[in-house]
Structure 1
Amino acid sequence: MINIIKIRFITYTLSLITIFIGFYFVFNYGIKFSTEFTGGTTITFEGDTIKKEELKNIITPFAKDT
């Protein structure tokens, strides 16, 4: 019984560590947040820059009014 708990604990911690490493690489190399001099936040996504207004236009149709 103790061995099963140890194995589950080890697997859960390893999976959490790999998930956090994946998020780290995604946010550092996949998506780069950069603020321009105009104050607008642009998100570079594999070379394509999306401005904040365009991102609002993309996101707002999916958001539901509560």
Structure 2
Amino acid sequence: VIVAELLRLAAAAMHEQWPATVASWLSLVALIAAIARAFWVSWRLWRPRTVAAMPPAPGGEV
């Protein structure tokens, strides 16, 4: 009976704990995705500016 009670308490603790674990993993994944998206957007915005600035203007160095 004591073992069954301990197993029931352990199952209840696991049942109470897994939503917090899933939420923490999801928040971590969302944070990584937001950082990756920010890097992607900044790279996409910065790339045409650097490519357009690469060719020298005609008659610029006289």
TM-score (structure 1 length as normaliser): 0.46
The answer to which structure has the higher strand fraction is 1
User: Highest relative contact order (Cα 8 Å, sep 6+), 1 or 2?
Assistant: 1
